[in-house]
Structure 1
């Protein structure tokens, strides 16, 4: 048993926070690189947006194998190795002479690395908490918001001073540092240390919540699994479009790339606040309805974006869209734990996120190619909003986790 005044679960939260801050600061710094890559390689917007979209596709698609591996060997080696892959990819991208080499370095490196670090880190937090799961998850995934907050402006400032290639090398060094810190803090579930979630002492003969629940095979045969999967898939078509296209959108309407990078920063501010704000409402609404609220909120904000041509409107959009995105990310893993327990939670969360992968892959490039063809983002943005509204309807119709589990337990 670990003898310490501080419950070790909070150290796991800190490790997950550092992991997500590191990985997503790199991922969402792409907005600052969009213009330099477009100019360096003479690429169209659809081609340039694929750099990010391939990465996002991979890091959500690989959540399933990462969850399986993390469930088997523990989160520490998977998280550390994943972030080191990110660093390697950045080094390769820094030496690219063609756009396809940026795909090879940034897209594959960030995609593989974040894919193998995110799900095991967020799953580790779920194992260490039950009563305080919402708070712990909100703190951990706030790393994504902080990463979004600092990644793009840091990269933009560095690019202005040392160029985009050396900026990738600086980010690679910072990623190695993040891998070391996260690896020191992340650890396996509390039952490995004679503890129970939330710091309770283990009771003899009592099954740990971390070892009870559904297997992946059992989870995928249920309606709630496919409700959450489909809702996340539909939302993801519009979810990542601002992170890729907001800077060129702002440049097109004459507000300048610098203001676009500021909006990416405000997405991070909103995301960080949203993870805590919306996690706090789950005790009243429940996680299912809170999750549904994130879906419709994001859809409404996409409609606002499609109509926005002023700096004030775009600031409003960035803050609120970021907040709903942050709430979505904070609530989703805990909702999965509510439905399916901790037995194979990493694999279940990874499988659910695989749906997000396809929206991430297709949504941003579709918006880019739509702009290349029509000269406007409006249609693509509104299509993303419509899909968010459909996702909201699906989750409103889904069963409440506690009632659903009770009915299953009573069924013969």
Structure 2
């Protein structure tokens, strides 16, 4: 059984668990407080449409701009994470989250929401997603699936809580007050948590969770050496077809579920549900997704990610067909439960499949490229539903597109290499000796 370290946390008192688990809790709350407001965007469509007379296509363009902004910035936030660490990048995201929420509560023209929600929250999302996943992968040598599962579960719980919270606020107070409250409370929570966050175990003199006791505690490389390591690792990683297929898979999966999470509320309202009940559909599917967001990375860590993810993509795709016949409240909630199972598992194992294919290394920019695929998929799915509705007067074409995208992602996964062995096991051999990861000395290994 692994010996448990008893380090001092950044506040100065001793704790009885490895600080990796504290990092997961901090990252999870940041995800819930700041990263989920964009996923609950569908709650905002009906109030803005009814209150200000804007069309769904123009409103959801703000969501698409946020996704595009996050996608375009993801490789750069990954690069910044590799160079400066995750903590300062996340802090910048906290500032943009606060600004985006506050300004959203002040909009009077539709283009205002494109800036507040689109640009500000898009920057925030890019500063949260890549650094948090990168940092989590650094903190774990073993049980990465369990740690990522907890983190991804929070990513599902966040929209569940946020959708019903925003829906309730919109039903009881003015929508401007709702967003000001979210910005102030969420921004304060993130400020406290960022103070406690650490980018790597070596920042507080620890080894990663599960690392052998004879492994040297890795000090930070000099900036020049860190750049060499990141460039070399990225070259090897991006030289595989698996890397680019993962970008495509991320894109297709996000097209598939973006259509649902953005338009299921307008679809439900059009069928006769009131706004709070319709928001409950989104909260239900997000809440159900918490289970598979947690279990899928754990299962993938033990049995391999390829088929675990492919099955979840199928389970995300085919249940969307239920929306063709959903009319009553129970039918929408049944859909939410069934769809939520696949939706939760669709994207939660990406850090695991990256570890299984590419091993350990400076993942920031490479995660960034995969998040580019995800963000561009969210942008496409988030906007195309409104555009197709404007053309056809129905959400049926968007429903069909959602199914095709998710099933297409599953087929790409099936075409990939097995995850049972590393694709780039010897990438550090391309580095000069001083840039390689320290190894235990023979004397230490013999103890």
* TM-score, reference length from structure 1: 0.92
CA change 1:162–1:202 in 2 (3 A) is same
Native 8 Å contact 1:18 1:181 kept in 2: no
Structure 1 residue ranges without an equivalent (≥5): none
Alignment match, 2:214: 203
Q: After TM superposition, give the deviation of residue 306 of structure 1 in Å.
A: 3.4
Q: 1: distance between equivalents of 2:320 and 2:104?
A: 32
Q: 1: distance between equivalents of 2:216 and 2:105?
A: 55
Q: 1: distance between equivalents of 2:325 and 2:350?
A: 29
CA offsets per residue over residues 259-312 of structure 1, 9 Å max, x none? 210001102211211112323322554112111122111111222333433333
Native 8 Å contact 2:358 2:422 kept in 1: no
The reply to whether residue 38 of structure 1 matches residue 46 of structure 2 is no
Which residue, 305, 308, 313 being the options, matches 2:331? 313
Q: 2: distance between equivalents of 1:354 and 1:390?
A: 18
CA change 1:61–1:273 in 2 (3 A) is farther
CA change 1:82–1:371 in 2 (3 A) is same
Q: 2: distance between equivalents of 1:194 and 1:402?
A: 32
Alignment match, 2:348: 330
Q: How does 1:154-165 map to 2 (within 5 A)?
A: 154-165=165-176
Alignment match, 2:444: none
Native 8 Å contact 1:14 1:185 kept in 2: no
Q: After TM superposition, give the deviation of residue 202 of structure 1 in Å.
A: 5.0
Q: How does 1:335-354 map to 2 (within 5 A)?
A: 335-354=353-372
Alignment match, 1:171: 182
Native 8 Å contact 2:141 2:210 kept in 1: no
Q: 2: distance between equivalents of 1:71 and 1:376?
A: 45
Alignment match, 1:301: 319
Q: 2: distance between equivalents of 1:406 and 1:231?
A: 20
Alignment match, 1:219: 237
Indicate the larger mover: 197-206 or 101-110: 197-206
CA change 1:221–1:316 in 2 (3 A) is same
CA change 1:391–1:12 in 2 (3 A) is same
The reply to whether residue 360 of structure 1 matches residue 382 of structure 2 is no
Which residue, 174, 177, 192 being the options, matches 1:181? 192
CA change 1:233–1:28 in 2 (3 A) is closer
Native 8 Å contact 1:82 1:114 kept in 2: yes
CA change 1:408–1:319 in 2 (3 A) is farther
Native 8 Å contact 2:316 2:339 kept in 1: yes
Indicate the larger mover: 187-196 or 74-83: 187-196
Native 8 Å contact 2:256 2:403 kept in 1: yes
Structure 2 residue ranges without an equivalent (≥5): 9-14, 431-447
SS in 1 for 2:37: helix
CA offsets per residue over residues 203-256 of structure 1, 9 Å max, x none? 356989x99896223222211101111111122222111221111101111122
CA change 1:267–1:59 in 2 (3 A) is farther
Q: After TM superposition, give the deviation of residue 172 of structure 1 in Å.
A: 0.4
Q: 2: distance between equivalents of 1:11 and 1:401?
A: 29
Q: 1: distance between equivalents of 2:386 and 2:262?
A: 9
Indicate the larger mover: 312-321 or 72-81: 312-321
User: Whose Rg is larger?
Assistant: 2
The reply to whether residue 400 of structure 1 matches residue 411 of structure 2 is no
Q: After TM superposition, give the deviation of residue 406 of structure 1 in Å.
A: 7.6
* Structure (1 or 2) with the greater helix fraction: 1
Native 8 Å contact 2:249 2:412 kept in 1: yes
Q: 2: distance between equivalents of 1:137 and 1:407?
A: 23
Native 8 Å contact 1:194 1:201 kept in 2: no
The reply to whether residue 288 of structure 1 matches residue 306 of structure 2 is yes
Q: After TM superposition, give the deviation of residue 151 of structure 1 in Å.
A: 0.6
Give 4+ residue runs of structure 1 displaced > 3 Å after superposition.
Answer: 1-4, 191-194, 199-202, 204-208, 210-214, 406-409
CA change 1:120–1:175 in 2 (3 A) is same
Alignment match, 2:404: 386
Q: 2: distance between equivalents of 1:252 and 1:69?
A: 44
Which residue, 80, 86, 96 being the options, matches 1:75? 86
Indicate the larger mover: 139-148 or 315-324: 315-324
SS in 2 for 1:401: coil
Alignment match, 2:67: 56
Alignment match, 2:443: none
Indicate the larger mover: 194-203 or 178-187: 194-203
* TM-score, reference length from structure 2: 0.85
Q: How does 1:132-171 map to 2 (within 5 A)?
A: 132-171=143-182
CA change 1:399–1:110 in 2 (3 A) is same
CA offsets per residue over residues 164-222 of structure 1, 9 Å max, x none? 111110010122123123303321222344432225455356989x9989622322221
The reply to whether residue 14 of structure 1 matches residue 25 of structure 2 is yes
Q: 1: distance between equivalents of 2:104 and 2:118?
A: 9
